[in-house]
Structure 1
Amino acid sequence: MSTLPRLHHEHNASVTLSLTDFTASGSAAQVAEFLTRVCEALSELPLDRMEREAGVLAAEGAGVTDPTSAELLSFRYGTVGAGLASWDGPGPDRIPAEAVRDVAARYFHADNAVLVLTGPPPAGLRLPLPRGPRPDRGRTQPVLKAGPAWFQADVPGPGLAFHGDLDDPALVLAHAVLQERLRQRARHQEGLSYEVGGARVHTGAGQVEYTLCLDAREGREQRVAELLWQEALRMASAGVTEEELAEELAGFREAWLDPRSMSSELGEAAACLLLGLDYQDAPTRLDALAKVTPEQAGQAFTTALATALLAVPCHAEVELRRLNGTSLTQEICSTTRVFPPDVRVFKPSLFQRTVSSAARAARLGVGRSGLWCCDADDDVHHVPFDEVVGVEVRGTGRIVFGSRGCFIPVVPELWAKIEPAVATIDAAVPEALRYETSGLLPSRDD
């Protein structure tokens, strides 16, 4: 986009988990020139601008989805596909030019692109993109955590995710009904939340992750998390009503049949074509929703609840039950609470242990097969070396990231005399997985 001249008509570009869009509105000549220039730039990227564009991205600070949804996806899928949503990686200033060229060659070509127009094709339109093989998106993404379970994460508010079929009309309606119930309960009745966001994320082969995320008034995150789970259990046990289904159906009908929705409807058709999905027009989708009974919607949600993951802000402590009254499992990255006998143990500095009870309880274990870290709550986090997906070089320290979502900081700010630990990490992890910490992103080791 930086190659384009100053434009006085509407235009933009965006990146989501599965798609990149370049959009413009204007006269036929303006749209044609925009599309041609974008394709020319994609065919020959202006890599001399990487340093400046990295700074722009760091200033923007945007993610591909909201932070709670991102954590839910990463917890479900690990550091693969949609699970990468919550990961910063090395930062935009540490990505090598070869990686950018490789992504462009694999994805930004004529056989992996769809042109969407709300009018006739402009005269003289050129789309000078190279040819290439379309990526295989027909496989279902492997699930790391199946659920039902809850976990704590650095998120602004609680969120719920459940797994299901992309085109299941009963589950689509149940998802919408639960979103509205939460809005009524958390916002209008108790005044604890402003926004309840819902989304569906395609994860391959007709599968989708349904998410619901709430913001929370400061200090009331625990209550909002409990409300979220209570409403989910209530729907699974008592189902939905005919009136609720009719209300949501009316909402879908109003949105999908609005003449102003034509561009988004074309975008939906284009996404289906790129992702290998069968596109259904709005009347067909509405007809399927109209046939759903309350019993079907309730049963679909009860089945999906068996896959539920609940994200809870780190400082909120909750006690949650399943439908049968048993405790809902809290997932952590390791099931052990003790270090193996053959690890070398590192502690915080004597000063830190003197002034902090948390530091007195903390321990870092370094062995031949991986790292262990015991926190103030006696929870032991574990990253095996054969599951390491990245090591951030932070001066004399290292941040070690595992494929299951856990990371362990091995830095002098937290541990004393860590030189042997760092040497073990560097010897065990391939050099290709190490990268210098970004000079543009804030510190992330706490």
Structure 2
Amino acid sequence: MADEQLAVRGITHLIEHLALFAVHSRPHATNGQVDATTTVFVTKGEPQEVAEFLAGVCRALGSLPFDRLPIENHVLRAEASSRAPVLVEPLLVWRYGAATYGAPAYEEFGVGRHTPDQISAWARRWFTRDNAVLVFTGGPPPESLRLDLPAGERMPPPPPSSALPTTPAYFCEPKQKYVAAQAVVGRSVAAQAYAMLLGRRLQKKLRRELGISYSPDASYDVRDAEVAHVMAFADGLPEKHAELVSAFVFHFRLTAEEAASDEEITDIVHRLRSAYRDSPSSGAYGNALRELFGLEPIGDGEHEARLDAVDPEAVLKVGAEAFQSALLMAPGRELPGARFHPAPWGSADVVDGRVLRSADAPVDTERLIVGPDGVSRVQGSRRVTVRFSECEAMLAWPDGGRRLIGRDGFSLTVEPTLWAGGSSLAALLDDAVPAERIVPRPQRPADRIPRPTTTRYQRVRARLLRP
């Protein structure tokens, strides 16, 4: 998903659905999954069943069943509507913006708009034998296995986009019940141990000792060849948010400043070693990712050696790296302390152009600036700008409403009904934004189209009372 441009997001997921439909009648267990950097087709069964499934998927990728396209578009929409909000998504947008590793946090805007030619071209580019890895557990590859995939090239994960000028940083989510932190650290076994240590500390302090959180925890997830994300979170009741944020930040910082005991690290390493040995597929799948990322495979012996090298100082070093790169999401309006910088909540500048007043002016003092380079909204000290050259997607409603999403993750909604002289705004924006980045939206009910909220009397009175 990190390779998809926002306005066409969902094309890889659609291909995965179409390919699996071609082999869905097989009686043994099969599945598929798309994440930021990989698309996975998985099966379990007898050797011949495995061979037939893999061969069928590869045939389907070269000749997708486009007669199924309308149905799978509906299936994808149904899947999206039933998906619960993912805690990490706001953190991805604030860190990466609306591109690369931030794009998966957005709706699949392209669903229902992909043409067979676009889908086929995307499949030919990415689903090639040079960009694929086969993983087998439980035995060697079936002798009858034949895979019909075209030649291509190995495609590395994209360089990360960035919307965060400095770290450690924070932002507030007034409706959120969690405090969460995401850090970017170098990939290592010590970083895995750090994530487990942080999760243990949060569970011990926030749940067992303070009783202010039900399910605090932390995780380690590979991003690409170089780095991984460490994600820590804790839930809590609104009346406990101030205490929750304070305790969470204190123990998050503590793992960066004070080394764990030898006993803690020894136990964590033991558990990591046991988990690796108890899951034979984890090493194989890990090496598949390494192959795709252009890294050398790691054998069991080397993995054991890396575990043996983990000590309190190595974990403390990761803790310092995690704290320095951290992005914290605070519930409500709770502030995490002086060590964290506020993430930008507005743009640094505005465009030059025509200035429109609110239809509710002077009661509403907000201004809209529309120029040849982009659009800005100014409300008091807050400015939000989306330049046309950095617009990743523009949602377009038939009534003229437009929402521009910039590469930095800032979005700006333009409702012609809310601006004096705004009747030409929709046409102007449609001409300025590249056509392939315009996402048509369905007709809105009349009562969902925003209207001015003030009366003529209120506006006249406000003018008379102006200093």
CA RMSD of aligned residues (A): 3.2
Identity of counterpart residues, as a percentage?
26
* SS of aligned partner of 1:94: coil
| Cα drift, residue 156 of structure 1 | 6.0
- Partners in 2 of 1:221 and 1:98 — Cα distance? 51
TM-superposition CA deviations, 1:89-147 (whole Å, max 9, x none): 4241123333322221111111111111221222322212122122144x753544241
| Cα drift, residue 183 of structure 1 | 2.3
Match of 2:275 in 1: 255
Contact kept, 8 Å, 2:191 with 2:220, in 1: the verdict is no
- Partners in 2 of 1:5 and 1:426 — Cα distance? 41
2:358 pairs, out of 322, 329, 347, with: 347
2:131 pairs, out of 112, 123, 127, with: 112
Structure 2 vs 1, CA of residues 254 and 348 (structure 1 numbering), >3 Å: closer, same or farther? farther
* SS of aligned partner of 1:67: coil
User: Does 1:166 pair with 2:166?
Assistant: no
Contact kept, 8 Å, 2:156 with 2:292, in 1: the verdict is no
Task: After TM superposition, list the pairs within 5 Å mapping 1:21-40 onto structure 2.
Answer: 21-40=40-59
Q: Which runs of 5+ in 2 are unaligned?
A: 1-19, 451-467
Task: After TM superposition, list the pairs within 5 Å mapping 1:44-193 onto structure 2.
Answer: 44-61=63-80, 67-118=86-137, 119-137=139-157, 140-145=159-164, 146-153=166-173, 157-167=178-188, 169-189=189-209, 190-193=211-214
Structure 2 vs 1, CA of residues 91 and 427 (structure 1 numbering), >3 Å: closer, same or farther? closer
* SS of aligned partner of 1:158: strand
Match of 1:194 in 2: 215
Contact kept, 8 Å, 2:31 with 2:43, in 1: the verdict is yes
Match of 2:434 in 1: 430
- Partners in 1 of 2:28 and 2:197 — Cα distance? 39
Contact kept, 8 Å, 1:196 with 1:215, in 2: the verdict is no
2:327 pairs, out of 309, 333, 356, with: 309
Structure 2 vs 1, CA of residues 11 and 135 (structure 1 numbering), >3 Å: closer, same or farther? same
Contact kept, 8 Å, 2:355 with 2:367, in 1: the verdict is no
- Partners in 2 of 1:219 and 1:2 — Cα distance? 49
Q: Which runs of 5+ in 1 are unaligned?
A: 355-359
What is the identity, as a one-letter code, of the residue corresponding to 1:14?
Q
What's the TM-score, normalizing by structure 1? 0.84
Structure 2 vs 1, CA of residues 252 and 445 (structure 1 numbering), >3 Å: closer, same or farther? farther
- Partners in 2 of 1:270 and 1:210 — Cα distance? 21
What is the identity, as a one-letter code, of the residue corresponding to 1:151?
F
- Partners in 1 of 2:121 and 2:275 — Cα distance? 39
Contact kept, 8 Å, 1:149 with 1:331, in 2: the verdict is no
* SS of aligned partner of 2:107: coil
- Partners in 2 of 1:391 and 1:76 — Cα distance? 21
User: Does 1:240 pair with 2:260?
Assistant: yes
Contact kept, 8 Å, 2:212 with 2:240, in 1: the verdict is no
Which stretches of structure 1, 4 residues or longer, exceed 6 Å deviation after superposition?
A: 62-66
| Cα drift, residue 42 of structure 1 | 0.8
- Partners in 1 of 2:105 and 2:176 — Cα distance? 10
- Partners in 1 of 2:172 and 2:255 — Cα distance? 24
Contact kept, 8 Å, 1:183 with 1:196, in 2: the verdict is yes
Contact kept, 8 Å, 1:333 with 1:405, in 2: the verdict is no
Contact kept, 8 Å, 1:140 with 1:203, in 2: the verdict is no
Match of 1:357 in 2: none
2:342 pairs, out of 311, 329, 349, with: 329
Contact kept, 8 Å, 1:344 with 1:366, in 2: the verdict is yes
Match of 2:454 in 1: none
Match of 2:31 in 1: 12
- Partners in 1 of 2:190 and 2:417 — Cα distance? 52
Contact kept, 8 Å, 1:161 with 1:310, in 2: the verdict is yes
Match of 1:391 in 2: 394
- Partners in 2 of 1:419 and 1:239 — Cα distance? 63
Contact kept, 8 Å, 2:376 with 2:384, in 1: the verdict is yes
- Partners in 2 of 1:109 and 1:209 — Cα distance? 28
Structure 2 vs 1, CA of residues 416 and 152 (structure 1 numbering), >3 Å: closer, same or farther? farther
Match of 1:287 in 2: 305
- Partners in 1 of 2:264 and 2:84 — Cα distance? 28
| Cα drift, residue 290 of structure 1 | 2.9
| Cα drift, residue 232 of structure 1 | 1.5
What is the identity, as a one-letter code, of the residue corresponding to 1:345?
L
| Cα drift, residue 341 of structure 1 | 7.7
Contact kept, 8 Å, 1:383 with 1:401, in 2: the verdict is yes
Contact kept, 8 Å, 1:64 with 1:85, in 2: the verdict is no
What is the identity, as a one-letter code, of the residue corresponding to 2:388?
F
| Cα drift, residue 7 of structure 1 | 2.9
Q: Which structure has the bigger radius of gyration?
A: 2
Structure 2 vs 1, CA of residues 296 and 414 (structure 1 numbering), >3 Å: closer, same or farther? farther
